[in-house]
Amino acid sequence: MNIPILFEDGEALIVNKPAGLPLDRPRKGGVALEDFLPDLRLGFAREPLPVHRLDQDTSGCLLLARNPKAHKRFCAAFEARVVSKRYLGVVNGPVRKESGTISLNLLKTSSKYGGWRIVASHEGKPAVTHWRKIAEVDGMTLVEFRPETGRTHQIRVHAQKGLGAALVGDPIYGDGTGAARTMLHAVELTVLREGKPPIHAVAPLPEDFIELGFEEGMNLAKVWEQQGEEDQGE
């Protein structure tokens, strides 16, 4: 398995995490991100550390810190919500409006037989996601998601409850049909740094998005990548 590097400097890496690769070792065993961290040292003494999380099925931009001090600063940036994240997801149904904001508190629940999941509940933690419709193909909709908060399964639940349709392939919040995985891609990540150019990367649209007919996402990714390069050049 190849893990492309999208951004690299002395304190950070952004890699394009493949769909299906978990960050932590599964209980039943198998490949995990930690298996690739030695190769991602790239001459540094320490292995890089993930700063945030992506679900196993989610592909795209994952930030790694190359030293403990950088890891602490980047984690603080995520906590302070000064990190810009953009996702593309395929929703299993039409979306009537062109754009909007979903604000639904999220709560983690669990049961003996069903395991754990996230539900919308006024007792949960605040969660806000901005969204924009990009294209519709065969009753499915490509949506741009910009989460303001970073709750577990936030986009997946907000798609189901806020847009009225789960992500294609989602086996927990949808019916799991239409794709081999939950169709969510972390397409862009930007982290501002004091006194340094921002950390920025755009992950190319995966083939399974294109196979569903959403080439528009590929064109958008190219535009965002160009804009990021122009911003860093200023």
Enzyme catalytic residues: 55
- Reading phi first (left if > 0) and then psi (alpha if -120 to 50, else beta), residue 87 is in beta
Please state, in angstroms and as integers, the Cα–Cα distance from residue 49 to each residue in 8, 136, 150, following that order. Answer: 14, 37, 18
Closest CA to 83 of 74, 71, 92: 74
Both tokens assigned to 23: 């960050």
Q: In the chain, how long is the greatest CA-to-CA distance?
A: 55
Both tokens assigned to 94: 């039409």
- Give 1's contacts (C-beta < 8 A, 6+ positions apart): 18, 21, 31, 36
Residue 144, CB half-sphere, CA atoms under 13 Å: how many? 18
